[in-house]
Amino acid sequence: MARDYYGLLGVSTKATDQEIKRAYRKLARELHPDVNPDEAAQARFKDISTAYEVLSDPEKRRIVDLGGDPLSQGGGGGAGFGGAGFGGGLGDVFEAFFGGGGQTSRGPRGRVQPGADSLLRTKLTLEECATGVTKHITVDTAILCDACTGSGTNGDSKPVTCETCRGAGEVQSVQRSFLGQVMTSRPCPTCRGAGETIPDPCHKCGGDGRVRARRDIAVKVPVGVSGGMRIRLAAQGEVGPGGGHAGDLYVEIIEQQHDVFVRDGDDLHCTVRVPMVDAALGTTVTVNTIIDGPTEITVPPGTQPGKVESVRGHGMPKLRSGVRGDLHAHLEVVVPSRLDSKQAAALSAFKDLRDKDQAEVVTTASQHNGGLFSRLRDAFSGR
């Protein structure tokens, strides 16, 4: 009769390859001879190892699913730990305890490697962000060695196979553990995993294929950028080892604070101080904007402190769009703190004409928009 390989691992006949592998690893941790010296456990360990060998092989599993036993057809059944029929089980036993393969070879990584990306920061004024600008920046990166054009060799010399690892790019060592002798691999210290060395390296780059250099780059900053944005310059970063393809250069924008305007996305805000009389009678104020030059802001008669007057389309341009934000002027009414005799007399005469104007304490229900209690109420209600 065919053996129940699925039953030995405790999985169903529809189990996936990953489920079979997980079941085997779990049992291997419990039954391995170095962990469980019991003879029954050792016998069962051989059984689950054989079951895993069969079910991890697609052709052998197909035979099992058809009702046959692949090991009874010359497959060398009953292979134990380290036996000829164990297949790739040793690596999975190692992985069950250590989480990684024991003898998996990665091979040489090669001398030529891609370069890393670079990041620089540049400061822009609000005017430069609004109109766009070409900035000339100095970068210090690895560039292709012009003496060897990236080969790393001197003259007509060539790289040779590493004598330490024989071109494998890694060396192996044997360590003793409760599993017995375990072979591990690490990058070759002589060639650093490249698999080859350069006996006659380039005199300028020392065999690296690249040298550090300082160079100037023109960066075209588009209209409408803002602080924190990054401009990508393809293949302007670090050249890789062995003359590998250069990475990208990213230029991060730092937007400097403006003396007059505060930016909020695509909108601009400024504060305009209006004398008390002009606020009462109405006036116009000229604001020297960034793009449009002098622009008039209308202060209507009876303007109250804190009122905001907006001019549409006079803000910052949106990135990659012809649309512009708005300009918002926050009006601050200035009350004179000192009056001469003529000014005081004039205001007294004005007061006599406004005999109905009296100082009073009002209820919250009678507050107009912008009053103290109204602003507090809006702040706490999240308006």
Q: Between the CA of residue 158 and those of 168, 188, 210, what are the distances in Å?
A: 18, 20, 17
What SS3 state is found at 338? coil
Q: What is the DSSP letter of 73?
A: G
Which positions make up the binding site? 145, 148, 162, 165, 188, 191, 202, 205
Phi, psi of 141, rounded to the nearest 5 degrees: -135, 170
Which positions make up the binding site for Zn(2+)? 145, 148, 162, 165, 188, 191, 202, 205
Token pair, residue 306, equals 């804190």
Q: What is the DSSP letter of 198?
A: -
Residues 279 and 346: their CA atoms lie apart, in Å, by 17
Adjacent-strand bridge partners of 196 = 161
- The C-alpha torsion from 376 through 378 and 380 to 383, rounded to 10°, is -150
Q: Between the CA of residue 269 and those of 103, 105, 227, 272, 310, what are the distances in Å?
A: 66, 63, 17, 10, 9
Query: Helix axis angle, 89-98 relative to 39-55, nearest 10°?
Result: 120
What SS3 state is found at 221? strand
In the block, residue with structure tokens 């030995």? 8
Token pair, residue 253, equals 């924008």
Closest CA to 21 of 67, 70, 87, 66: 87
Closest CA to 142 of 152, 154, 157, 134: 152
Q: Between the CA of residue 356 and those of 196, 215, 368, 380, what are the distances in Å?
A: 98, 75, 18, 34
CA angle 34, 91, 15 (to 5 degrees): 100
